């Protein structure tokens, strides 16, 4: 990477944002606040994730650019209010990463990734005293995360202080327990209890995934993509038989869906 080109590109982006926010700049950009652009930031992050999952480097590059624009834009808004600027943002993250990697930049020795993670957690604990005091150990986890990712991060953080299931078998037993409780609630037609038990089951499944080294947010996104792919193939299968999706009966859709599933298994084999 050409460092001169990098500096020029970054300066160009900073200048672009400043121009957009100038009195003779863009009226739309001039009206924006942190509150109005924060959701755009989240959307851009998801679009980056989408491009990564689909294995599209060109789109990934473009979406990372969109995300970077919003980071610079928000830093500029803060600079206008004399809170901080982009230099502070960059310097703080560099300082933090150096501090949290003493096995790279210091004299700490580690044997494996587990020790790296353990050291990371200890360092974060020492840092919290310099930050605003919080009421709970879990309040550090951002509530704006998607629900599955939030559950993953909450339980992961709780595990740092030993509050966790002993192993995969223990959490699997918990999943089965929650499934039985949900089944009882459904039998009793208790809608409020069904609502609560579904939530408990989802939370348990998130932890089951975590104990297998997986992330439930990623797993559900993958399942969503599989559903979209199979649904499109079902539509195609119906069209081959002269059926429009809106005219097909539930039985015809099920038949086409099952045919697609069988084809998929045969292709895997």
More confident residue, 79 or 263: 79
Q: Is the pLDDT at 34 greater than 50, yes or no?
A: yes
Measured CA to CA in angstroms, residue 46 lies from 41, 70, 143 at distances of 9, 13, 17
Spatial contact of 253 and 238, defined as CB atoms under 8 Å apart: yes
Residue 131 pLDDT grade (very low, low, confident, very high; cuts 50, 70, 90) = low
Q: Is the pLDDT at 198 greater than 60, yes or no?
A: yes
For the chain, the structural domain boundaries read: 3-99, 134-214, 218-268
3-state SS, 46-99, equals HHHHHHHHCCCHHHHHHHHHHHHHHHHHHHHHHHHCCCCCHHHHHHHHHHHHHH
DSSP 109-128: --SSHHHHHHHHHHHHHHHG
CA distance 50 to 225: 10
Residue 120 pLDDT grade (very low, low, confident, very high; cuts 50, 70, 90) = confident
Q: Is the pLDDT at 53 greater than 90, yes or no?
A: no
Which class does domain 3-99 fall in? mainly alpha
The model scores a pTM over 0.75: no
Which of 13-17, 100-104, 135-139, 143-147 has the least mean pLDDT? 135-139
Q: How far apart are the first and last CA of the chain?
A: 43
Q: Which residue has the tokens 């353990």?
A: 118
Q: Which residue has the tokens 């579904």?
A: 198
| Widest CA span in the chain | 70
Spatial contact of 74 and 41, defined as CB atoms under 8 Å apart: yes
Residue 62 pLDDT grade (very low, low, confident, very high; cuts 50, 70, 90) = very high
Is the CATH number of domain 134-214 1.10.287.1080?
yes
Q: Which tokens sit at 8?
A: 């020029």
Within this chain, domains 3-99 and 134-214 share the same CATH topology: yes
Q: What average pLDDT does this structure show over 237-260?
A: 90
Residue 129 pLDDT grade (very low, low, confident, very high; cuts 50, 70, 90) = low
> Please, what's the b/e burial string for 25-48 (b: 16 or more CB within 10 A of its CB; e: otherwise)?
eeeeeeebeeeebeebbeebeebb
Best-predicted range by mean pLDDT (34-38, 89-93, 120-124): 89-93
Q: What is the pLDDT of residue 269?
A: 41
Within 100-167, where are the H helices?
Answer: 102-105, 113-127, 147-159
CA distance 72 to 65: 10
Q: What is the pLDDT of residue 133?
A: 56
Spatial contact of 82 and 88, defined as CB atoms under 8 Å apart: no
Q: What is the pLDDT of residue 265?
A: 52
């Amino acid at each position: 990477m050409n460092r001169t080109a990098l500096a020029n590109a970054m300066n160009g982006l900073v200048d672009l944002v400043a121009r957009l926010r100038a009195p003779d700049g863009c009226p739309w950009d001039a009206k924006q606040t942190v509150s109005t652009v924060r959701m755009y930031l989240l959307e851009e992050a998801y679009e980056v994730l989408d491009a990564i999952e689909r294995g599209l480097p060109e789109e990934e590059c473009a979406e990372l650019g969109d995300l970077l624009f919003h980071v610079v834009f928000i830093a500029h808004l803060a600079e206008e209010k004399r809170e901080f600027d982009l230099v502070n943002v960059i310097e703080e993250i560099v300082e933090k990463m150096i501090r949290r990697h003493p096995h790279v930049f210091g004299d700490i020795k580690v044997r494996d990734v587990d020790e790296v993670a353990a050291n990371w957690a200890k360092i974060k604990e020492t840092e919290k005293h310099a930050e605003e005091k919080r009421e709970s150990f879990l309040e550090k986890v951002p509530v704006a995360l998607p629900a599955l990712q939030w559950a993953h991060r909450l339980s992961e953080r709780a595990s740092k202080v030993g509050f966790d299931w002993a192993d995969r078998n223990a959490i699997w037993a918990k999943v089965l327990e929650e499934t039985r409780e949900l089944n009882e609630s459904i039998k009793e037609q208790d809608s409020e209890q069904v609502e609560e038990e579904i939530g408990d089951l989802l939370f348990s499944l998130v932890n089951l995934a975590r104990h297998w080294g997986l992330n439930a947010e990623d797993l559900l996104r993958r399942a969503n993509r599989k559903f979209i792919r199979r649904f499109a193939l079902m539509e195609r299968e119906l069209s081959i038989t002269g059926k429009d999706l809106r005219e097909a009966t539930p039985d015809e859709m099920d038949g086409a869906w099952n045919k697609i599933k069988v084809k998929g298994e045969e292709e895997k084999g």
